[in-house]
Structure 1
Amino acid sequence: MALVAEQGIPKEGCIPVAVGFWSPFVEGTFPNYTGPVFELFKVIQQKLGFCYELKMNVYWGIELPNGTWTGMMGMLQRKEAEVAIGPIGVTYDRYNAAEFSSPIFMTDQTILYLRPRLEPDLMGFVKPFTLLVWLGVLASTILVTIMALVVVKTTPDRLSKRFHNTITNFAQPAYEVTTPSPTIHALEDASQESSRTSARVATPPHEKNNSSSLFLWSFMILVGQGLVIKLNRSETLRTIVALWFMTTFILGSVYKGNLKAMLIAPKVKIPFDSLEELVAQHDTKWSFPKNSIIHSFLEASYNEDPTSARGKAWQYKSHIMSHPNELDENLRKGIAGLFARTSSLNYIARTFSMTGSCGYSVARKGFMTVIYSMGFTKGSPLLPKFNRLITSMTELGVMEKILSPMYINVSHCLQPQDTELSMTLRPLAIGDFLGIFSLFGIGAATSVVFFILEIIVNFRFPK
C-alpha cells in the first residue's frame, strides 16, 4: 500500500473506486482494465501515490422515486466508493447526489446505425424524370396527336389521303416487289376478289377515324423508333412534326444522360440523420444502455412531453440494453443505438481497422451535449487534487494525446453517404432490370388477356 504525505490524501487503507465497462474509455475484464480514461486515472494515482480497490458496477445509475440512486452513482451516494471512474455524464440531478472532477471531455449524443448500402432499384428506369415530368411527356404526346389529327381532318381530301396512306403504311418495306404479268384469268379472279372485298368494306380507309394511327406515330417518334415519313404540302403539319422530333430528341438525350449518371454515381438513401427523423420513420428500431444518461434524459422528456421527439424516442424504443456488450448483436440485427458520439466514432474506427470497410454510420445531427467527468463522494478530499492534475494535463495537451487514439481510421467512414463512390464498378444485378422486365410482363399479360377476349367475342358474335 502506498502512503502519501500530501494533505487531503488518506494515509491508511485503500480508496474504493467504482469502475464500469464502457468501450473505449474503460475496457477489459475485472480487475485488469485498460482504456484511455482508466489510464488517466492510473497516471493521477501514481502522481498522488495512493492505493485503490476496484469495485465493479456496469451501470452509471439513475435516480429512483425515493431519491436514491442505482449503479456507480448509488455507490458514491452511499459512500461505498469514493471515486467513480466512469466517465459519468454530469447533470443537475447527479450533481445533487455526488461531485464531479474537471471535464475530461465533452460530446453530444448521436445515433449509431448500420451503414446503408447500394441496392438494386426496381423503379430505377423511371427515376431520371419526376412524376410531373412523366405526366408532361404523356400530355405532350396526346397533344401532338390531337394537333396532327386536327390538321389531317382540316386538310383537303387529296392531301388527307396522302398523309393517311403514309402513317398507316409506315411499316411497309422501302422497296418494290415485281411479279410477272398476270394472265387474263388471274386478272378476272383478282377482279372478283376485289369486288367481294369492296362489298365487305363499309367505308374507304382514308375516311375512317385515324386517331389511333396518329397516336402510334407520335409514340414511335417519342421512343426513337425508325420511321420514314413523307409529309404532304401542309406547312402546319411539317412544323408540328419538326417540333415534335426536336422535343423528343432533347427528352431522350436528357433521359439517357440522367440514367447514365445515376448508374455511375448512384445515390445512397440515408434513412435518418437526426433524432427527429429517427422517431418519424418506422423501418429502423433503436435502443440505448440501461441506467445511462440517455436513459434518464429520454424518460424525463417523455414524462414532460410524450409528443416531443425525445419523448417518442423513449416511448417507441425497441428495448433497453442491459449491458453495453449487446451493441454488436443489436447493430447486426439492424437496431440502431443511441450513444455518445465519442464512443460511436470509436466503434466505427475499430470496425474499419478490423474489416477494412465502413460497416456503420452516425447521424450528423446530435442531441444533448454533455460534459463527462469522474465522480466523487460529497466532500471528498481527493477532488481538488484530481481537478488540479486534470486541468494541467488538459492545458498541456496530455488529455488530447490520451483520447486521440480512439479516433484512428474514422475519417474515411465519416465521408458523406449521399453519393456512394466505389473504387470498383458495381455489377448490375437482376434487380436493376426487374422494373423493365415487369413492365414487359404486364404488357404481355395484358395482350394475352385482350387476345383471349377477342377470340371469345368473335366466337359468340361471329361476323
Structure 2
Amino acid sequence: MSQDGPPYQVTGSMIEVMDILAETLDFCFKYVVPDDRQFGRQDANGSWTGMIGLLARHEADMTGVVVGLDLDRRTVADFSDFLYMDQERLIYKRPVVESDMAGFLKPFTLSSWMMVVATLVAMAGVVLLTRQVTPQPARHCPGTDGESSRQQETVWNSLLDTGLWSVAVSLAQSSTLVPRGMRQKAVVGMWLLLALIISTVYRSNLKAMLIKPRLVLPFSNLEELVETSIPCFTFRGTLLHRNIEAAEEGTTMWRLNKVLYTHNDVALGVRDMSLGKHVLFTTYVGLLSVLHSHFLQTKSCSLYMTDDSYYGSKSLTLAFPKGSQLRQKVDPIIVKLREFGILGRAFMKFVAHSKTCLNSDPGSVDSALRPLQMGDMYGVCLVYVGGITLAAATLLMEVVIALRKRGGKRSARE
C-alpha cells in the first residue's frame, strides 16, 4: 500500500478506514511513501510518478489515501467506489483591521462627498441670491476720525458670509447670518434641516464603522484572484495542477499560470498561506483539515475560504493496480461505510473545528476591540492643522491689509 502522508488528505480518518478494511478482510498492511511524494502524473515518456506509478509497476497493492479519479489514471489503475465527493477551493489569510489615515472620510463614498460639497456651494449661492433680492440696510461703521460713514455691503462680502454660514451650519457651529424675508428664511430653514440629516448620517456611519467594522476581502473567487498580484500555490502532481497547466489559452485557469508555483512541502505551503504569502488552491477535503489544524493552533478563524468551486465535483477513491482482485472485496465495504454514514463521521471527527470557521462571516472582525493607533488620528489631525493654518494665514492677511489702509489714510491727511 502507498501513503502520501500530507495532513490535507485527512490521513487521520483514512487510518481509521484502513483499520476497518484490514479488520474486516483480515489482512495486515504497511505504508510505502513514494520518493517524490506526489499523487502521480504521466511524464513525457509515458511513465507515471508518485502513488499511481507505484500501482502501475505493481509495487503497492492499493493507496492508503484517497486520490482523484480521471480518465488518464484509469488507464493504468483501477479505482474503488467513491468515498467522498470533492471540489477545489481557494483559501487565504483573512485581512485584519488596520489604522487608516483617511478613515474619517469612509462613512461617505467619493460621489457622496462630491454631492455634499456641491450642495454647500449651491446653498451659498441661493442664500446670496435671496440676499440680493431682499437687500440689507446699509451698515454704519465708525470712521477713524470719529465720524460715521456708510458702507454698502459688496457682493464679495455677501458671498463670503453665506459661504462661511453654509459650512458652519454643516459643522453644527454658530453663525452671525440673520435671514431676512420669507425667501431667505425658507432657504435657511431647509439647509438647517438638510445639514442635520447629513451630519446625523455621517456620525451614525462613522460610529458603526468604529464599533463593528467590515473587512474588505482581497478576492472572493478565482476571477478576482487573477486580477490581483497575489501568488497562488497548489501541490505538484495533483489533478488540479495538471488541469491548470493544460488550461486553454485565454481562460481564467490559463491566466492563473502567471502567478502559480508548486512544490510538495505541505507544511511549508500551509504555513506560508497562513502568513499571507500566497493563496492555497487545493481540494475542499484538504482545506477543511487546514482550517481545523489552524484553529487548534491559533484558537481563531484567521483564514477564509471562497464559496465558488472549480471543475465541478469529483470522486475521491482508493486506487489499485490494474486487474486487482482486492478492489472487488473492498468495494462492498466502502459502499456500506458510506451509506451508513461511517465515512462521513470518521472524516468530520478529524476536522471538527473547521465548522466553526465555515460558519463565521469572513467579512467580520474579531469581537475584541482594537485600540486606536496614531495612524487613526493622522487624518483628522491633518485636517485640523490645515484649518488652523488657513485661519491664521487669513487673520494675518487681514491685519496686514488693515495696517496698510490705516497707513494710507494717515499719509492722505498729512
TM-score normalised by length of structure 1: 0.78
Q: Which one has more relative contact order, counting CA pairs under 8 Å at least 6 apart?
A: 2
Code of the aligned partner of 1:431 = G
Equivalent residues in 2 for 1:263-342 (5 A)?
263-282=210-229, 284-301=230-247, 304-305=248-249, 307-317=250-260, 319-334=261-276, 335-342=278-285
Question: Does the C-alpha gap of structure 1 residues 153 and 242 become closer, same or farther in structure 2, counting only changes over 3 Å?
Answer: same
Code of the aligned partner of 2:234 = F
8 Å contact 2:235–2:241 — kept in the other structure? yes
Alignment counterpart, residue 83 of structure 2, candidates 104, 108, 111: 104
Question: Does the C-alpha gap of structure 1 residues 18 and 137 become closer, same or farther in structure 2, counting only changes over 3 Å?
Answer: same
Code of the aligned partner of 1:326 = L
Which residue of structure 2 lines up, in the alignment, with residue 20 of structure 1? 4
Q: Deviations over 1:179-227 (max 9, x none)?
A: xxxxxxxxxxx976347x97xxxx9352452212221111111111023
Deviation at 1:453, TM superposition (A): 9.6
Count how many residue pairs are aligned between Structure 1 and Structure 2. 401
8 Å contact 1:110–1:366 — kept in the other structure? yes
Q: Output the CA distance in 1 between the equivalents of 2:401 and 2:273.
A: 60
After the TM superposition, which of the residue ranges 437-446 and 65-74 deviates more from structure 2? Answer: 437-446
SS in 2 for 1:128: coil
Which residue of structure 2 lines up, in the alignment, with residue 241 of structure 1? 188
Q: Tell me if 1:426 matches 2:370.
A: yes
Code of the aligned partner of 1:380 = S
Which residue of structure 2 lines up, in the alignment, with residue 254 of structure 1? 201
Q: Output the CA distance in 2 between the equivalents of 1:450 and 1:94.
A: 80
Question: Does the C-alpha gap of structure 1 residues 124 and 453 become closer, same or farther in structure 2, counting only changes over 3 Å?
Answer: same
Q: Tell me if 1:437 matches 2:381.
A: yes
Q: Output the CA distance in 2 between the equivalents of 1:41 and 1:293.
A: 23
Code of the aligned partner of 1:23 = P
Which residue of structure 2 lines up, in the alignment, with residue 366 of structure 1? 309
Code of the aligned partner of 2:89 = T
Question: Does the C-alpha gap of structure 1 residues 207 and 400 become closer, same or farther in structure 2, counting only changes over 3 Å?
Answer: closer
Alignment counterpart, residue 145 of structure 2, candidates 189, 193, 197: 193
Q: Deviations over 1:49-84 (max 9, x none)?
A: 233343212110112222221111111122222212
Question: Does the C-alpha gap of structure 1 residues 261 and 48 become closer, same or farther in structure 2, counting only changes over 3 Å?
Answer: same
Which residue of structure 2 lines up, in the alignment, with residue 383 of structure 1? 327
Q: Deviations over 1:127-171 (max 9, x none)?
A: 222222211111111111111222222324xx3436xx9xxx9xx
8 Å contact 1:108–1:340 — kept in the other structure? yes
Q: Could you say what the CA RMSD is over the residues aligned between the two structures, in angstroms? A: 3.0
Q: Output the CA distance in 1 between the equivalents of 2:3 and 2:363.
A: 42
8 Å contact 2:270–2:280 — kept in the other structure? no
Question: Does the C-alpha gap of structure 1 residues 446 and 239 become closer, same or farther in structure 2, counting only changes over 3 Å?
Answer: closer
Q: Tell me if 1:346 matches 2:283.
A: no
Q: Deviations over 1:225-279 (max 9, x none)?
A: 02354333x2111111111111111111111112112222211111112111211
Question: Does the C-alpha gap of structure 1 residues 53 and 406 become closer, same or farther in structure 2, counting only changes over 3 Å?
Answer: closer
SS in 1 for 2:38: coil
Question: Does the C-alpha gap of structure 1 residues 444 and 207 become closer, same or farther in structure 2, counting only changes over 3 Å?
Answer: closer
SS in 2 for 1:85: coil
8 Å contact 1:61–1:70 — kept in the other structure? yes
Equivalent residues in 2 for 1:25-104 (5 A)?
25=9, 27=11, 35-57=12-34, 58-104=37-83
SS in 2 for 1:143: helix
Code of the aligned partner of 2:349 = P
8 Å contact 2:97–2:365 — kept in the other structure? no
Q: Deviations over 1:12-57 (max 9, x none)?
A: xxxxx12111215465xxxxxxx21133123212322233343212
Which residue of structure 2 lines up, in the alignment, with residue 151 of structure 1? 130
Q: Deviations over 1:345-402 (max 9, x none)?
A: 2221222223321122211212132211111111111110111111121122221222
Question: Does the C-alpha gap of structure 1 residues 418 and 450 become closer, same or farther in structure 2, counting only changes over 3 Å?
Answer: farther
Larger Rg: 1
Question: Does the C-alpha gap of structure 1 residues 216 and 23 become closer, same or farther in structure 2, counting only changes over 3 Å?
Answer: same
8 Å contact 1:75–1:81 — kept in the other structure? yes
Which residue of structure 2 lines up, in the alignment, with residue 222 of structure 1? 170
8 Å contact 1:265–1:419 — kept in the other structure? no
TM-score normalised by length of structure 2: 0.87
Q: Tell me if 1:138 matches 2:117.
A: yes
